[in-house]
Structure 1
Amino acid sequence: FSRLADFEIEVMYGELDGTFPNHPADPLQPANQRDLQARVLAGGFDVGLAFDGDADRVFLVDETGKGMSGSTTTALLASRFLRLSPGATVLYNLICSRAVPEVIGECGGVGIRTKNGHSYIKQIMAETGAVFAGEHSGHYYFADNFRADSGLIATMGVLGEMCRSGKSLTELRAPFERYASSGEINTTVDDIGVVIERIASRYSAHSQDRLDGLTVDCGSWWFNVRPSNTEPLLRLNLEAATRDECDTHVAELLAEITA
């Protein structure tokens, strides 16, 4: 970034320190973006970039200090790649917003929904010839980068769209933010399998799939519950047409999970 003459760059917490004195190196957690959000506002910057420790993930903050979800970034980058490669294939993981496949279709691309995980996504990219893949977790994969994920390449793509369009990040993101999301909610559960089956039974009247955990499509809203691979946690992601509907069904699902 320091070689980009047309950009004014300020680095926060650039010194390596394995004790992480400022905050953990996980930009997915909103608390870890707060310092960046405040600095963007105070300094009048156009965009803030929150990388993880090895910079294979990135989350963006717009000029108003508002964080941008991985789904929104995936949709934005998908539109860019489909402009450059019309009709191409784009992958997105199953907890991405419904806006992502909608945008892919609107841009004339072929969207493929995948389970979570970089090794699986890279395999599907190789099999399908996909030009790009995005995960809600902030991982973005590029065919021209050996199908590897890179927060830096994702950043350059977003900056490229800002420069090309002359729009602020707030303006650029707006068409891709169509629904209300819960974010990922983790609950400690003793018998995850039993809980998932109980939820499946309760929502048996709705369309379900087991691509990764349990996903249920309830029409104007949907949710996914899946176990953590490393901890006794059940992860809930839910999206709805409105914030009120989202909050109502989150409370409903959490009551079922902890029953």
Structure 2
Amino acid sequence: GMLAALHVLAALGEQQRPLSELTADYRRYESSGEINFTVVDAQACVAAVLRSFGTRVHSIDRLDGLTVDLDNGSWFNLRSSNTEPLLRLNVEGRCAEDVDAVVRQVAAAITAETAGEAVPSHGLSHEAVR
């Protein structure tokens, strides 16, 4: 721990670049960042999202909302906010295209379930984390 932290600090001092740039080469996945959907019936939306992925679902975990591992190595977590009428979505995948496809599919399922009433808090394109 301590030695690794000292190496990171030394690299930051020598390179004059932000830590995010220094670690970019070591990241293995793209990430969507958190996308929020305002919904009335979160449980119905979560069920609709899960149904929409059908046989692509590799595994499911319900410890913190719904976490789904997909057959292509992508995964997403969809959970209700404890304080607001929101569903929070986070997606990771091997490439930006995989992440965008999952985000679009989740958004489409939520939109269909809410008859177009749910709107994400920001655009559906993710900001790739590299």
Q: TM-score w.r.t. structure 1 length?
A: 0.37
Q: 1:184 to 1:170 in 2, by over 3 A?
A: closer
Aligned to 2:39: 189
C-alpha contact 2:61 2:67 (8 A) present in aligned 1: yes
Cα RMSD of the aligned pairs, angstroms, is 2.5
Pick aligned residue for 2:10 from 163, 185, 206: 163
Q: Aligned with 2:28: secondary structure?
A: coil
Confirm whether residue 215 of structure 1 aligns to residue 62 of structure 2: no
**What is the total number of aligned residue pairs between the two structures?**
106
Q: C-alpha separation between the residues in 2 aligned to 1:217 and 1:233?
A: 22
Aligned to 1:241: 94
Aligned to 1:28: none
Q: C-alpha separation between the residues in 2 aligned to 1:216 and 1:190?
A: 22
Distance apart, 1:252 and its partner CA = 1.2
Confirm whether residue 173 of structure 1 aligns to residue 23 of structure 2: yes
Gaps of 5+ in 2: 113-130
C-alpha contact 1:189 1:258 (8 A) present in aligned 2: no
Q: 1:82 to 1:244 in 2, by over 3 A?
A: farther
Distance apart, 1:162 and its partner CA = 2.8
Measured against aligned partners, the alpha-carbon deviations of 1:206-232 in whole angstroms (never above 9, x if no partner) come to 211001000000132111100000000
Q: Aligned with 2:83: secondary structure?
A: coil
Q: TM-score w.r.t. structure 2 length?
A: 0.69
Measured against aligned partners, the alpha-carbon deviations of 1:176-206 in whole angstroms (never above 9, x if no partner) come to 3222111100011110011112222333532
- Counterpart residue identity of residue 43, structure 2: G
Aligned to 1:227: 80
Aligned to 1:199: 49
Runs of 4+ in 1 over 4 A off after TM superposition: none
Gaps of 5+ in 1: 1-80, 85-156
Q: Aligned with 1:212: secondary structure?
A: coil
Measured against aligned partners, the alpha-carbon deviations of 1:56-110 in whole angstroms (never above 9, x if no partner) come to xxxxxxxxxxxxxxxxxxxxxxxxx2866xxxxxxxxxxxxxxxxxxxxxxxxxx
Distance apart, 1:175 and its partner CA = 3.4
- Counterpart residue identity of residue 179, structure 1: Y
Task: Report the structure number with the largest CA radius of gyration.
Answer: 1
- Counterpart residue identity of residue 65, structure 2: G
Q: C-alpha separation between the residues in 1 aligned to 2:88 and 2:65?
A: 9
Q: Aligned with 1:239: secondary structure?
A: strand
- Counterpart residue identity of residue 39, structure 2: V
Identity among equivalent pairs (%): 44
C-alpha contact 1:228 1:234 (8 A) present in aligned 2: yes
Q: Which has the higher contact order (CA 8 A, sep 6+)?
A: 2
Q: Aligned with 2:109: secondary structure?
A: helix
- Counterpart residue identity of residue 68, structure 2: V
C-alpha contact 1:225 1:235 (8 A) present in aligned 2: yes
